Structure 1
Amino acid sequence: MGRKYIDCREFPSEAKCTVAISADSEQELEEAAVQHAVAVHQHQDSAELRRQLRTMFKDGTPPAALG
């Protein structure tokens, strides 16, 4: 399995977050993404949040800039 990532820049929010997180496993990426979503975006850790985050995972590494 290759590297996976999630990039907040793809999901505009009031926080104007520019964090991108990548990992070698989906499990590791999920844990880091949940911690970020709870700490920065004030989401509650739940099964639904984890499902939603997993649908946003992409293969590879985040680009240096969007667009």
Structure 2
Amino acid sequence: MRKVIDCTLTIAGEEEEVIQAATEHSVSVRGEVDTPEFRATLRTLLKDEVPQHA
């Protein structure tokens, strides 16, 4: 199941891809530090993606 994380940027994809992209965004834009603890915190924010119907 695809996952989603949403702050000022919505990122959707496979769980590891979302965590990687969210970490990179947080480090480069928000000044966060990439640590295992930070990635664990991001994982708690993941939600299942709700399919959009056309």
**Unaligned segments of structure 2, at least 5 residues:** none
The two structures have a TM-score, normalised by structure 2, of 0.85
Instruction: Show the 5 A alignment for 1:1-67.
Output: 2-8=1-7, 18-23=8-13, 25-61=14-50
Query: Match of 1:21, as an amino acid?
Result: I
One-letter amino acid of the structure 2 residue matched with residue 55 of structure 1: T
Q: 1:3 Cα shift?
A: 1.3
More helix by share: 2
TM-score calculated relative to the size of structure 1: 0.70
CA RMSD of aligned residues (A): 1.0
CA distance in 1, matches of 2:11, 2:31: 17
Q: How many residue pairs were aligned?
A: 50
Q: Distance in 1 between matches of 2:28 and 2:16?
A: 18
Structure 1 runs not aligned, ≥5 long: 9-17, 62-67
Give the residue type in structure 2 aligned to 1:4: K
